[in-house]
Amino acid sequence: MEKQESEFFETETNPMDASRESKIREIKEGKLTEQTKFQIKTIEKIQTMLDKEGVDIWIGGGFAVDALAKGRVTREHDDIDGWVLEKDISKVEEMLSKEGYKITKEGSKLSVKAPEGIFLDLHPLKEKSATELEEQVVGDEASIIYPKEDFSREPVPLEDIQIRTISPKTLYELAKHEEQREKGEYHAKLLEEIVKREERNNEAKERLLSSLKSIYSAAQALKEDKTKNALETELIDLIKGQSEIREYLKGKEEAIAKDVLKSSSEDEFVSKIGRFKDIVEQKLKQKID
């Protein structure tokens, strides 16, 4: 995520909720307030409605922080923040209006009030490039640029529903610039360990990928003067000597060697190795936890 032009991290005040408090009101596990229950139902209802029409929505703000950090709601939230693609915004507006939601436009952003009184801010994302999305900041000429990968995550649990969120790293950066300092510090504290964990995981994956690529290169050099059986045996020994593979894919050396021999390119080999993704993810999680 990057910023353009002037400072743009400003509180986006909803005219319908100017009197809301900013004090952190924590919620104990299993002790949801009625408002929070309605908010979760609203998220689920809108996600289901949009999914049926092939429209993606990503949740940000406090609910996303809670989902990523704890899988449950940890404090009361004044509203819900969601992001949708700009190309879908008219369709979303039409769908919500038909369901009785009151919509106020603030620049390109939609401020939505559900029939139950729940507030939702919808932020449109414009496709800036093949790898970037852009959000125009309300009341400012500046914009926020997000990597597309920030919006390609698997759903995570929030109480008894699943939500798609923005990446922890971007939420962490937004929290550090939150105008309501107490809320920003609360979010940043919850997200800090998640961000560090993801960074460690990514570093471990890069080391593993590097090991796998070096194995492929070694195999190409060995092919010239080894028979097939001798080549496979030597490859297995070579693979067993790689510390990253011993750590994450121990016992899979023979399968990896066969994948090397069946692959006609490094990319094809790396693609085949993707079948071990779940094993690696599980071991990474165990290692961090």
pLDDT of residue 22: 46
pLDDT of residue 154: 85
- Residue labelled with tokens 């997200």: 191
Q: Quick check: 103 pLDDT over 60?
A: yes
Burial of residue 141 (number of CB atoms within 10 Å: 0-12, 13-18, 19+): exposed
pLDDT of residue 132: 92
**What are the phi and psi torsion angles at 99 (to 5°)?**
-90, 5
C-alpha of 152 from chain center: 6
pLDDT of residue 19: 39
Instruction: Tell me, letter by letter, the H, E, C secondary structure of 156-206.
Output: EEECCEEECECCHHHHHHHHHCCCCHHHHHHHHHHHHHHHHHHHHHHHHHH
Of 2-6, 50-54, 61-65, 110-114, where does mean pLDDT reach its minimum? Answer: 2-6
* Sequence ranges of the domains in the chain: 2-179, 198-288
How many helices (H) does the chain have, and how many strands (E)?
Answer: 10, 10
**Topology adopted by domain 2-179:** Beta Polymerase; domain 2 (3.30.460)
State the pLDDT confidence band at 15, using cuts at 50, 70 and 90.
very low
Q: Quick check: 20 pLDDT over 80?
A: no
* pLDDT (mean) for 156-176: 90
Contact 108, 124 (CB under 8 A): yes
185-244 per-position pLDDT tens digit: 888 888 888 888 888 888 888 888 888 888 888 888 887 777 777 888 888 888 888 888
Distance between CA atoms of residues 252 and 248, nearest Å: 9
Q: Quick check: 86 pLDDT over 80?
A: yes
Q: Quick check: 30 pLDDT over 50?
A: yes
Count of CA atoms in the C-beta half-sphere (13 A) of 286: 8
State the pLDDT confidence band at 72, using cuts at 50, 70 and 90.
very high
* pLDDT (mean) for 89-111: 90
102 contacts: CB under 8 Å, gap ≥ 6: 112, 113
Q: What is the mean pLDDT of the chain?
A: 83
Question: In this predicted model, which residue has the larger pLDDT, 9 or 247?
Answer: 247
Contact 141, 46 (CB under 8 A): no
State which H helix or E strand residue 38 sits in: helix 34-52
Q: Quick check: 14 pLDDT over 70?
A: no
pLDDT of residue 198: 82
State the pLDDT confidence band at 289, using cuts at 50, 70 and 90.
low
Q: Specify the length of the chain in residues.
A: 289
Q: Which residues pair with 135 in a beta bridge?
A: 144
